[in-house]
Structure 1
């Protein structure tokens, strides 16, 4: 392991704080459910940046297999943490590789969706109305979809064993939170929410023709 590539704990803290505060400024968690889901999202980021700059646990655990299959790669260099570029034989700078570019698009799109959704949701909640405009005109839970896009983007950029384990857990958490929020919205808005949910899909815009009241 190259000393200059890892053990950069200041960068672990700095990146974790910046991204967590950035996400918090967009999502503005308020209820205990918001804080619980945001806490899990934050834990994902801390685990990610710990391996990205602190200690490459995934590379360490897989080093024997990786060195056997790909003997020409220095698996403890920082660039090798971009596992998908390495495994698919990308020869250039991994920061310009296809998976890293896809990652940037997903992360950027996710933050944009969370920010755009929050503005609509805040205005609706302030006036006691159901959020049905902006991103909410296409899907019922754009903020959760935005966070999932961000998580997916980070996995494409820097996959680790821990974040791969956390990823489906977070997906399940967001789905359950969405179902709870829909039950509450149905109790509050009644037929108005039923009409909305019958026309607008829960998570995937292209499922509009199959939207249900479940």
Structure 2
């Protein structure tokens, strides 16, 4: 399938867009350990799966075509705009790029990459000094880089949901939670009471809305 008018079959765009976001993430995350590479590898697989459907083969549209055509008979499913499924399934008209889901997705993606970037700088400086990272985003949550990857993925799911990426998302979140627990065991072994005090006052993933009270691991 190669139809530039439909926006599919453009495998060159699949490769280019995948590389742009993977390299962008790499430049901010800079994986070093085997654990880092597992984190980055899972995110990269998500990105490739996303753009393979966005510009390559619209598997989700094909699988759901019977239901979509029955529910929305006036919609041309092979029109690229129809791939914005949140927009299509709510019966919206006009330009999906100006709709709330798309605008919100862009905001989330940029916010995620920004969080990834500043988190890496804080972590790098802490590692270079041989101390625990507790400032910047690390003062709010213990694993801001994992939070950043999840926020970016949510942004992409809001913009262009696919069956494959929707299935991958909870698996990747579970993997990041598992890796976070591994990192915490290593940090506690290395930093001892300093880590335990930090973990007591800092949530794992979800920042507290209030500055008061005792933080519990989440």
TM-score (norm 1): 0.96
> Which residue of 88, 93, 96 corresponds with 1:94?
96
Partner of 1:68: helix, strand, or coil? Answer: helix
Q: CA deviation at 1:210?
A: 5.0
- Whether contact under 8 Å (1:139, 1:200) holds in the other structure is yes
RMSD: 1.4
Superimposed CA distance per residue, residues 120-146 of structure 1 (whole angstroms, 9 cap, x where no aligned partner): 000000111000000001110000000
Partner of 2:50: helix, strand, or coil? Answer: helix
> Which residue of 196, 199, 211 corresponds with 2:215?
211
Q: Unpaired runs of 5+ in structure 1?
A: none
Partner of 1:91: helix, strand, or coil? Answer: coil
- Whether contact under 8 Å (1:110, 1:146) holds in the other structure is yes
Which residues in structure 2 correspond to 1:170-209 (within 5 Å)? 170-206=172-208, 209=213
In structure 2, C-alpha distance between the alignment counterparts of 1:2 and 1:15, rounded to whole Å:
17
Q: CA deviation at 1:212?
A: 3.1
Give the aligned partner of residue 85 of structure 1: 87
Superimposed CA distance per residue, residues 79-125 of structure 1 (whole angstroms, 9 cap, x where no aligned partner): 00000011112222001111001101110000000001000000000
> Which residue of 43, 68, 72 corresponds with 2:74?
72
Give the aligned partner of residue 55 of structure 1: 57
Superimposed CA distance per residue, residues 162-196 of structure 1 (whole angstroms, 9 cap, x where no aligned partner): 00010000000100111000010000111101111
- Whether contact under 8 Å (2:116, 2:145) holds in the other structure is yes
In structure 2, C-alpha distance between the alignment counterparts of 1:37 and 1:189, rounded to whole Å:
23
Question: How many residues get paired?
Answer: 214
Q: Unpaired runs of 5+ in structure 2?
A: none
- Whether contact under 8 Å (1:201, 1:210) holds in the other structure is no
> Which residue of 88, 109, 112 corresponds with 1:110?
112
Confirm whether residue 3 of structure 1 aligns to residue 7 of structure 2: no
In structure 2, C-alpha distance between the alignment counterparts of 1:2 and 1:70, rounded to whole Å:
24
In structure 2, C-alpha distance between the alignment counterparts of 1:125 and 1:26, rounded to whole Å:
16
- Whether contact under 8 Å (2:72, 2:91) holds in the other structure is no
- Whether contact under 8 Å (1:200, 1:211) holds in the other structure is yes
In structure 2, C-alpha distance between the alignment counterparts of 1:80 and 1:199, rounded to whole Å:
46
- Whether contact under 8 Å (1:106, 1:150) holds in the other structure is yes
- Runs of 4+ deviating beyond 6 Å: none
